[in-house]
Amino acid sequence: MEQEKSFGIRVSKQAFFQSLFILLGTMLLAGLLTLIIPPGSFDRETVRGIQTIVPNSFHYTADSYSYPVYRWFTAPIEVFFSAHAPTVIMIILFILFVGGSFAILDATRVFESLIGSISQRFMHARYRFIAIMTLFFMMLGAVFGIFEEVLPLIPIMVMVAKRLGWNELMGLGLSLLPTGFGFSAAITNPFTIGIAQKLAGLPLFSGIAYRLFIFGVIYLIVIFFLIRYAKQLERSDPPNKTLETNNPPLIPSDNPAGLWVMGVGFVLLLIVMMIFPIIGLGDYSMPLIALGFLLISLLVGVVNRIPISKLLSIFFHGIKGIAPSMVLIILAMSVEQIIVSGHIMDTLLYRASEQLHNLSPVLAGFGIYLFVFVLQFFIHSASAKAFLVIPILTQLGDLIGLTHQNVVLAFNFGDGFSHLLYPTNPALIIALSLSSVRFMTWFRWTIGIQVIVFVLTMFFLALAVWFGYGPF
């Protein structure tokens, strides 16, 4: 039984407590904002099943509503009774299923076969591997709007990175970082570009040529960043070591049957990840991926003749190892709960639109970018932010001479890149838990490339305003 406990993913205590204190501080900040900012509200209307804000309908509600301080502390419980309850439960079940399933695959040593094969093929072509993986994960985000769904692949990429002589950060750099930047440098991302263009009345995925150019530039920057870091690691510790493990295998590490089952299963899951957002079933992709991952792990275990009782035991030990991340997910979602329940979100939107009203088109574009960038700290869902802000911002754009396409571009930039920056994003917290990387370690590592991309996308946005990025 002691051996089983060593299989799978374990949330580092240091990483857990650092994230815990950061999130508690963020909740306190959100609560203080409800005392400083007066509550207010826009009217809503539902058109063809979609609820959006009615422009010019804002009104303050301070006389009729006050958010009590004690609800700052009950927010983690209120999350389970809010409109976001299904999302919270789905994310928690997703990460638990992934943790348990990963433990089974780890116990069968099928990862040893996979990682051994990859490392042998790319040990002398590591930079080509960086370019291939970066393009693959960036395309998942840019084309299909995939972000949270790549979480099961992160532990695998961390193991591959370590086998190639790098570290956990490089594993995140080969998976989470390009996925997030691809999501931001979107080409046809249905959750940002698709929804925002629909709300703005634009032809679906119009303006794609300019976004392809932006994607290409961001891709080159990410590759340069990762290769530069890989060279730093190689200078300090040459990659001539083999991956060591203290876990005695339950079966031989040469595992072609298990590898075949896992390979076929992952291909099918990848198809689900890509197809479901396109056909409008993106909300169902995460639970299906979790169930699929569990089924793959059980099949691999059965193929390798591990008793079902032992597989279930390993599965629950895997859940135990990843369970602390549930607390972080709930706290991250509590920040949005406080802001929304305090009725200050609409006030923030109203005041931001008032400030942007008298600016030039270029400065207004920058203002939209910055506003959405800040808003992402409290609301991590791209589609939820689009429904909240696009109706107001497109009307504002008409008044100041900013095309709807530029509004969508500014929204996309502001929403996307901050996915990799804020501890209030549950997907980021989960990813760091899966790799045992502390949030501040991740922040210090990525802040440089974030600043570079921020300045560059500001330039791309200004350029789009200057040439009248359209069609309108």
pLDDT in tens, 356-400: 888 899 999 999 999 999 988 888 888 888 888 888 888 888 888
SS3 51: strand
Q: Mean pLDDT, to the nearest integer, of 330-356?
A: 88
Tokens standing for residue 181: 């930047």
Give the DSSP letter string of 108-140: HTHHHHHHHHHHHHHTT-HHHHHHHHHHHHHHH
Three-state SS string across 346-372, please?
HHHHHHHHHHHCCCCHHHHHHHHHHHH
Q: Evaluate whether 385 touches 342 at the Cβ level (below 8 Å).
A: no
Q: Which helix (H) or strand (E) holds 301?
A: helix 285-303
Answer whether residue 231 is part of any domain.
yes
Q: How many CB atoms lie within 10 A of CB 137?
A: 26
Q: How many domains does the chain have?
A: 1
Query: What backbone phi and psi angles, to 5 degrees, belong to 351?
Result: -70, -35
353 or 448: which leads in pLDDT: 448
> Does residue 249 surpass a pLDDT of 70?
no
Residues in the chain: 472
Q: What is the span of the domain harbouring residue 336? A: 13-59+71-466
Under the banding of pLDDT at 50, 70 and 90, the label for residue 221 is very high
Q: 51-55, 112-116, 140-144, 314-318: lowest mean pLDDT where?
A: 112-116
For the record, the structure tokens of 117 come out as 């094969």
List CB contacts of 370: < 8 A, sequence separation 6 or more: 414
pLDDT of residue 276: 63
Of the given ranges (38-42, 179-183, 468-472), which has the lowest mean pLDDT? 468-472
Assess whether pLDDT exceeds 70 at residue 282. Answer: no
Given a contact cutoff of 8 angstroms between Cβ atoms, the answer to whether 319 and 96 are in contact is: yes
Structure tokens that stand for 319 in this block:
């859940």
Residue 243 confidence (pLDDT) above 80: no
> In the prediction, which pLDDT does 130 show?
95
Is residue 352 a part of any domain in this protein? yes
pLDDT confidence tier of residue 246, bands split at 50, 70 and 90: very low
Q: Is residue 309 part of a domain?
A: yes
Tell me if 1 is assigned to some domain: no
Which one, of 114, 126, 107, 223, lies nearest residue 159 by Cα? 114
430 located within any domain: yes
Specify if 208 maps to a domain: yes
Q: Over 90: is that where the pLDDT of 49 sits?
A: no
Please give the model's pTM, rounded to 2 decimal places.
0.84
Say if 256 falls within a structural domain. yes
Neighbours of 233 (CB within 10 A): 17
Distance CA 397, CA 202 (A): 14
Average pLDDT over residues 235-243: 61
User: Does residue 305 sit within a domain?
Assistant: yes
Question: Mean pLDDT across the stretch 409-437?
Answer: 88
